Protein backbone atom coordinates (compact mmCIF):
# COMPACT_ATOMS: atom_id res chain seq x y z
CA UNK A 1 0.00 0.00 0.00
CA UNK A 2 1.37 3.42 -0.98
CA UNK A 3 2.16 5.81 1.89
CA UNK A 4 1.05 9.33 0.89
CA UNK A 5 3.27 11.96 2.52
CA UNK A 6 2.95 15.71 3.10
CA UNK A 7 6.21 17.60 3.77
CA UNK A 8 5.95 20.49 6.24
CA UNK A 9 8.95 22.76 6.80
CA UNK A 10 9.47 26.52 6.55
CA UNK A 11 12.78 25.93 4.76
CA UNK A 12 12.40 25.13 1.05
CA UNK A 13 15.83 23.44 0.90
CA UNK A 14 14.88 21.08 3.74
CA UNK A 15 11.66 20.10 1.92
CA UNK A 16 13.56 19.55 -1.34
CA UNK A 17 16.10 17.32 0.40
CA UNK A 18 13.38 15.15 1.95
CA UNK A 19 11.57 14.90 -1.37
CA UNK A 20 14.75 13.64 -3.09
CA UNK A 21 15.34 11.00 -0.41
CA UNK A 22 11.73 9.79 -0.62
CA UNK A 23 12.16 9.12 -4.35
CA UNK A 24 14.20 6.02 -3.50
CA UNK A 25 11.16 4.48 -1.74
CA UNK A 26 8.87 2.89 -4.31
CA UNK A 27 6.01 2.53 -1.81
CA UNK A 28 5.71 6.22 -0.89
CA UNK A 29 4.28 9.23 -2.72
CA UNK A 30 4.99 12.86 -1.84
CA UNK A 31 1.56 14.43 -2.41
CA UNK A 32 2.39 17.99 -1.41
CA UNK A 33 4.31 20.50 0.69
CA UNK A 34 3.54 23.22 3.21
CA UNK A 35 5.80 26.03 4.39
CA UNK A 36 4.05 26.88 7.68
CA UNK A 37 1.68 25.40 10.21
CA UNK A 38 -1.60 26.90 9.07
CA UNK A 39 -0.88 25.90 5.47
CA UNK A 40 -0.15 22.38 6.71
CA UNK A 41 -3.59 22.11 8.32
CA UNK A 42 -5.22 23.37 5.14
CA UNK A 43 -3.26 20.92 2.97
CA UNK A 44 -4.24 18.04 5.23
CA UNK A 45 -7.88 18.93 4.58
CA UNK A 46 -7.31 19.09 0.81
CA UNK A 47 -5.00 16.11 0.30
CA UNK A 48 -5.78 13.67 3.15
CA UNK A 49 -2.17 12.38 3.41
CA UNK A 50 -1.27 9.27 5.38
CA UNK A 51 1.81 10.83 6.97
CA UNK A 52 3.24 14.26 7.81
CA UNK A 53 6.99 14.77 7.95
CA UNK A 54 6.55 17.74 10.25
CA UNK A 55 9.16 20.28 11.26
CA UNK A 56 8.98 21.17 14.96
CA UNK A 57 10.46 24.66 14.90
CA UNK A 58 8.43 26.91 12.62
CA UNK A 59 7.33 30.53 13.04
CA UNK A 60 3.74 31.38 13.95
CA UNK A 61 2.48 27.82 14.55
CA UNK A 62 5.01 25.13 15.45
CA UNK A 63 4.86 21.43 14.63
CA UNK A 64 3.56 20.33 18.02
CA UNK A 65 0.64 22.77 17.77
CA UNK A 66 -0.09 21.54 14.24
CA UNK A 67 -0.14 17.90 15.34
CA UNK A 68 -2.43 18.70 18.26
CA UNK A 69 -4.88 20.47 15.91
CA UNK A 70 -5.10 17.69 13.30
CA UNK A 71 -8.62 16.40 12.60
CA UNK A 72 -9.76 12.93 13.64
CA UNK A 73 -9.05 10.61 11.97
CA UNK A 74 -5.93 12.17 10.54
CA UNK A 75 -2.46 11.42 9.23
CA UNK A 76 0.35 9.92 11.27
CA UNK A 77 3.21 12.21 12.23
CA UNK A 78 7.00 11.95 12.20
CA UNK A 79 8.57 15.06 13.70
CA UNK A 80 11.66 16.62 12.11
CA UNK A 81 13.80 18.69 14.45
CA UNK A 82 17.10 20.50 14.85
CA UNK A 83 16.88 20.29 18.67
CA UNK A 84 20.08 19.66 20.56
CA UNK A 85 20.55 16.21 22.10
CA UNK A 86 19.39 17.21 25.58
CA UNK A 87 15.98 18.26 24.23
CA UNK A 88 15.58 15.09 22.19
CA UNK A 89 15.10 13.13 25.41
CA UNK A 90 11.46 14.23 25.41
CA UNK A 91 10.89 12.57 22.04
CA UNK A 92 12.59 9.37 23.15
CA UNK A 93 10.48 9.13 26.30
CA UNK A 94 7.32 9.68 24.28
CA UNK A 95 8.13 6.62 22.10
CA UNK A 96 7.17 8.48 18.93
CA UNK A 97 9.60 8.76 16.05
CA UNK A 98 11.52 11.85 15.04
CA UNK A 99 14.17 12.74 12.48
CA UNK A 100 17.13 14.87 13.45
CA UNK A 101 18.28 17.45 10.90
CA UNK A 102 20.10 16.99 8.60
CA UNK A 103 18.02 13.91 7.91
CA UNK A 104 19.92 10.69 7.16
CA UNK A 105 18.43 8.45 4.45
CA UNK A 106 18.87 5.28 6.52
CA UNK A 107 17.20 6.91 9.53
CA UNK A 108 14.35 8.04 7.27
CA UNK A 109 13.83 4.44 6.16
CA UNK A 110 13.62 3.33 9.80
CA UNK A 111 11.07 6.05 10.55
CA UNK A 112 8.88 5.05 7.60
CA UNK A 113 8.94 1.43 8.77
CA UNK A 114 7.91 2.47 12.28
CA UNK A 115 5.05 4.55 10.93
CA UNK A 116 3.54 1.50 9.28
CA UNK A 117 3.58 -0.36 12.61
CA UNK A 118 2.31 2.47 14.86
CA UNK A 119 -1.42 2.16 15.53
CA UNK A 120 -1.74 5.36 17.58
CA UNK A 121 -3.56 8.42 16.29
CA UNK A 122 -1.58 11.62 15.57
CA UNK A 123 -3.31 13.35 18.47
CA UNK A 124 -2.12 10.65 20.86
CA UNK A 125 1.39 11.00 19.45
CA UNK A 126 1.35 14.78 19.80
CA UNK A 127 -0.06 14.78 23.31
CA UNK A 128 2.49 12.25 24.56
CA UNK A 129 5.28 14.56 23.38
CA UNK A 130 3.63 17.77 24.56
CA UNK A 131 3.46 16.44 28.11
CA UNK A 132 7.25 15.97 28.04
CA UNK A 133 8.00 19.46 26.74
CA UNK A 134 9.26 21.95 29.36
CA UNK A 135 8.43 25.03 27.25
CA UNK A 136 4.90 26.42 27.66
CA UNK A 137 2.67 26.51 24.62
CA UNK A 138 2.88 29.83 22.75
CA UNK A 139 0.31 29.51 19.96
CA UNK A 140 -2.68 27.33 19.22
CA UNK A 141 -4.90 26.51 16.25
CA UNK A 142 -8.59 25.67 16.70
CA UNK A 143 -10.98 24.66 13.96
CA UNK A 144 -13.98 26.94 13.46
CA UNK A 145 -16.34 25.84 10.69
CA UNK A 146 -14.32 25.42 7.51
CA UNK A 147 -11.24 27.31 8.75
CA UNK A 148 -8.63 27.26 11.50
CA UNK A 149 -8.19 30.18 13.88
CA UNK A 150 -4.59 30.68 15.01
CA UNK A 151 -3.92 32.81 18.09
CA UNK A 152 -1.35 33.59 20.77
CA UNK A 153 -2.06 31.58 23.90
CA UNK A 154 -1.75 34.67 26.13
CA UNK A 155 -4.93 36.00 24.44
CA UNK A 156 -6.94 33.25 26.13
CA UNK A 157 -8.91 34.87 28.96
CA UNK A 158 -10.28 31.62 30.36
CA UNK A 159 -10.87 27.96 29.56
CA UNK A 160 -14.18 26.37 30.57
CA UNK A 161 -15.03 22.67 30.56
CA UNK A 162 -17.89 21.57 28.32
CA UNK A 163 -18.57 17.82 28.43
CA UNK A 164 -15.46 16.21 26.90
CA UNK A 165 -14.39 19.49 25.27
CA UNK A 166 -13.11 22.89 26.37
CA UNK A 167 -14.38 26.36 25.52
CA UNK A 168 -11.59 28.89 25.03
CA UNK A 169 -12.55 32.53 25.60
CA UNK A 170 -10.36 34.44 23.14
CA UNK A 171 -10.89 38.12 22.25
CA UNK A 172 -14.57 37.87 23.15
CA UNK A 173 -15.07 34.71 21.08
CA UNK A 174 -15.90 31.21 22.28
CA UNK A 175 -13.69 28.65 20.51
CA UNK A 176 -14.26 24.94 20.98
CA UNK A 177 -11.25 22.68 21.56
CA UNK A 178 -11.28 18.92 22.04
CA UNK A 179 -8.38 19.20 24.51
CA UNK A 180 -9.48 18.62 28.11
CA UNK A 181 -8.68 21.06 30.92
CA UNK A 182 -6.31 18.43 32.34
CA UNK A 183 -4.29 18.42 29.12
CA UNK A 184 -4.39 22.19 28.60
CA UNK A 185 -3.24 23.13 32.09
CA UNK A 186 -0.05 21.11 31.47
CA UNK A 187 0.67 23.17 28.36
CA UNK A 188 -0.16 26.64 29.66
CA UNK A 189 2.29 28.94 31.44
CA UNK A 190 1.61 28.42 35.15
CA UNK A 191 2.87 31.92 35.97
CA UNK A 192 -0.02 33.35 33.94
CA UNK A 193 -2.77 30.71 34.05
CA UNK A 194 -4.39 29.12 37.10
CA UNK A 195 -6.84 26.26 37.52
CA UNK A 196 -9.45 27.95 39.73
CA UNK A 197 -12.14 25.28 39.56
CA UNK A 198 -12.48 21.70 38.31
CA UNK A 199 -14.28 23.22 35.31
CA UNK A 200 -12.25 26.42 34.77
CA UNK A 201 -8.82 27.87 34.07
CA UNK A 202 -8.33 31.63 34.19
CA UNK A 203 -5.69 33.93 32.71
CA UNK A 204 -4.78 36.16 35.66
CA UNK A 205 -3.99 39.18 33.49
CA UNK A 206 -7.64 39.33 32.35
CA UNK A 207 -9.12 38.95 35.83
CA UNK A 208 -10.98 42.20 36.43
CA UNK A 209 -12.88 41.51 39.63
CA UNK A 210 -13.97 38.79 42.05
CA UNK A 211 -17.63 38.86 42.91
CA UNK A 212 -18.89 37.20 46.08
CA UNK A 213 -21.99 35.05 45.80
CA UNK A 214 -22.29 33.45 49.23
CA UNK A 215 -20.10 32.00 51.95
CA UNK A 216 -16.60 31.99 50.43
CA UNK A 217 -18.18 31.55 47.02
CA UNK A 218 -16.78 33.79 44.31
CA UNK A 219 -16.94 34.13 40.55
CA UNK A 220 -14.32 35.88 38.41
CA UNK A 221 -15.24 38.60 35.95
CA UNK A 222 -12.91 39.08 32.97
CA UNK A 223 -11.97 42.28 31.18
CA UNK A 224 -12.06 40.72 27.70
CA UNK A 225 -15.21 38.65 28.29
CA UNK A 226 -17.53 40.76 30.50
CA UNK A 227 -20.47 38.36 30.19
CA UNK A 228 -18.48 35.37 31.44
CA UNK A 229 -18.74 34.29 35.07
CA UNK A 230 -15.88 31.95 35.93
CA UNK A 231 -16.44 29.89 39.11
CA UNK A 232 -13.81 29.87 41.85
CA UNK A 233 -13.75 26.76 44.04
CA UNK A 234 -13.34 27.11 47.80
CA UNK A 235 -10.10 25.17 47.87
CA UNK A 236 -8.56 27.50 45.25
CA UNK A 237 -9.69 30.74 46.86
CA UNK A 238 -6.73 31.17 49.22
CA UNK A 239 -4.20 30.39 46.49
CA UNK A 240 -5.86 32.88 44.17
CA UNK A 241 -5.91 35.49 46.92
CA UNK A 242 -2.21 34.97 47.51
CA UNK A 243 -1.34 35.17 43.82
CA UNK A 244 -3.34 38.36 43.40
CA UNK A 245 -2.01 39.89 46.62
CA UNK A 246 -5.46 40.74 47.93
CA UNK A 247 -7.46 40.01 51.07
CA UNK A 248 -10.94 38.53 50.74
CA UNK A 249 -13.42 38.70 53.58
CA UNK A 250 -14.98 35.39 54.58
Residues of the chain with CATH 2.40.50.1020: 139-244
Give 95's pLDDT tier (boundaries 50, 70, 90).
Answer: very low
CA distance 174 to 183: 19
| Residue 102 DSSP label | S
Render pLDDT for 34-86 as a digit per residue (tens, 0 to 9).
Answer: 999 999 999 999 999 999 999 988 888 888 888 878 877 778 888 888 876 54
CATH architecture under which domain 139-244 falls: Beta Barrel (2.40)
| Residue 58 DSSP label | -
Q: Topology of domain 3-130, per CATH?
A: Rossmann fold (3.40.50)
| Residue 103 DSSP label | P
Residues of the chain with CATH 3.40.50.2300: 3-130
List of long-range contacts for 9-17, beta carbons under 8 Å, 24+ apart: 9/33, 9/35, 9/53, 9/55, 9/58, 9/80, 10/35, 10/36, 10/55, 10/58, 10/59, 11/55, 14/55, 14/80, 14/101, 17/102, 17/103
Q: What does the pLDDT read at residue 158? A: 95
Amino acid sequence: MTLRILLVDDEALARARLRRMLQSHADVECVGEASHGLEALQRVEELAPDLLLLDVQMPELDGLAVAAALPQPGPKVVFVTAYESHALRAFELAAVDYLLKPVNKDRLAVALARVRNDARSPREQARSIIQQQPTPLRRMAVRSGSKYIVFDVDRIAAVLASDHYSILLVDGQELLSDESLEKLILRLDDTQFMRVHRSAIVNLKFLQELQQEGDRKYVARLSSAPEARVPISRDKLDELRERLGIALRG
